[in-house]
Chains A and B, each alone.
Chain A
Amino acid sequence: MTHPPLVLRLLEALRRLPGVGPKSAQRMAFHLLERDREGALRLSLALQEALEGVGRCRRCHNLSEGELCPICSNERRDGQVVCVVESPADVQALEQSTGFQGRYFVLGGHLSPLDGVGPDELGLEQLAAQVAEGEVQEVIIATNPTVEGEATAHYISELLAASGARITRLAHGVPLGGELEYVDSGTLSRAFHGRREVQ
């Protein structure tokens, strides 16, 4: 089946989204063009405005409309604790589940020596400069529990070793509600070695 050129262009554009293949792209395009032209217009405007208006926060590198994101510009957040994460999605996850009141630093990935992702790509010098200003008392490293996340955590801890700030790392443990028998052995061994006093 052949589509008019403009529809083809729309299909191609939709396929850039994660999880959208040719079939889904066609379904979306037909839905917008046949049933919801008003919604389509809203979508295109929202997309354009977001692209023009959303950049990176100067301090934490999270997505932000202004120079500083809402978290960084919030006076009540504790500037003495900084939590380092890999992506903006990690900020959302921590905000929803931890009650953390400090600030963040978003790396936008992890060190991946074989892919050429080094400290410069992650903005680690800026992180070091912020910590060197002296206000930060604790840096919580919350990179993913992968080999690359581990390497990134190690690099950051070396980088900040001389700053005097306390450097901590998220604990690794058995998932709540899980059964030991089904926990993968890497997690189990970490949880075992990282055991603590019963309180």
Chain B
Amino acid sequence: MGHADDPLLPGFVLHRTPFRESSLLLEVFTPSGRLGLVARGGRGKRSRIAAIVQPFVPLWLSWTGQGDLATLAHVELRPPPLSLTGRALFTAFYVNELLLRLTSRHDPQPELFEHYQWLLWQLVAGAEEWTLRRFEVVLLAELGYGLLLHCDGDGRPLRPDSRYCYHLERGPLPLQGEAPCPLTISGETLLALDGHSPPQLGAEREAKRLLRAVIHHHLGGRPLRSRELFRQMFVRHTDQGE
């Protein structure tokens, strides 16, 4: 529950949609979690806030009211400004869609908020795909869907030189001879995803396949729209899409 005189909290708009005649419906992400806010008079010529209540703009926020939809009380910019362009902008949309789809409202996520903020700055600085993979690992862990990355499904330490079959429910299990496995991955890549070592050649591709499968599983199979857009846009040029 928020009061107008509560201290301002850092936050980001994840998504906004027009609401009624001149208002905006904002889905914002703060250390207190994701929440829905109505920004009264947030649209139109005279709106003081239309330029700043946009995705990827660091903000200070306060709100009033309780329940599922609170009212934005105060908003101001939280310098320094963050400027995303080009490919990084599309990656950031993908991350916002992940947060919208996987988090629930009013579930405090201070650690995840810090990681999100860190990721956006990394994207501004031209981050590599691996940074996005590490963010996905943290996101899943913070939401209680953590991957098993330090030991196999039977509790044995992972060996960097072994290959594993990743089972969505049980974690990695050593590859058994010729048994078919839809998701094979090296121990080295799993350990690198855990942050123990830098990624080796080929790790990005393996990691992307693993995380795509795991995220798809937790989204209940419904596709991510921003991924589809990303694919249409970039796959024509390269196969290194998000």
Contacts and interface: CB of A to CB of B under 8 A. Distances in A.
Interface of A: 18-19, 111, 113-116, 118-119, 146-147, 150-151, 154-155, 158, 184-187, 189
A154 B85 contact: yes
B54 interface: yes
B81 A151 contact: no
11 contacts: A111-B229, A113-B226, A113-B229, A114-B15, A114-B100, A115-B225, A118-B232, A151-B89, A158-B237, A186-B52, A186-B77
Contacts of A146: 54
Chain B: interface residue count, which band? Answer: 20 to 34
A187 B94 CA distance: 25
A154 B229 contact: no
Given A113-B97, A151-B89, A185-B81, 20 more contacts: A18-B21, A114-B15, A114-B93, A114-B226, A115-B17, A115-B225, A116-B225, A118-B225, A118-B228, A118-B229, A147-B55, A147-B56, A147-B84, A151-B90, A154-B89, A155-B233, A158-B237, A184-B51, A185-B79, A186-B77
Given A113-B226, A114-B225, A118-B232, A187 B90 contact: no
A160 to B, nearest CB: 13
Given A19-B21, A113-B225, A189-B81, A151 B93 contact: yes
Interface string B218-238: 000000011011101100010
Contacts of A187: 51
The 3 A-B residue pairs whose C-beta atoms are closest, nearest first, are A113-B226, A113-B93, A113-B229
Interface string B165-176: 000000000000
Interface string B96-113: 110010000000000000
Contacts of A19: 21
Contacts of B230: 113
A19 B55 CA distance: 27
Contacts of B77: 184-186
B120 interface: no
A187 B54 CA distance: 13
A112 B17 CA distance: 10
Contacts of A154: 85-86, 89-90
A186 B81 contact: yes
A147 to B, nearest CB: 5
Nearest to A187: B51
A189 B89 CA distance: 18
Contacts of B56: 147
Contacts of A18: 21
A163 to B, nearest CB: 14
Interface string B69-88: 00000000101010111100
B57 interface: yes
A115 B237 CA distance: 25
B115 to A, nearest CB: 20
Contact of B96 (A114, A158, A189): A114
A189 B79 CA distance: 11
Nearest to B14: A114
B89 A150 contact: yes
Contacts of B52: 184, 186
Contacts of A151: 89-90, 93
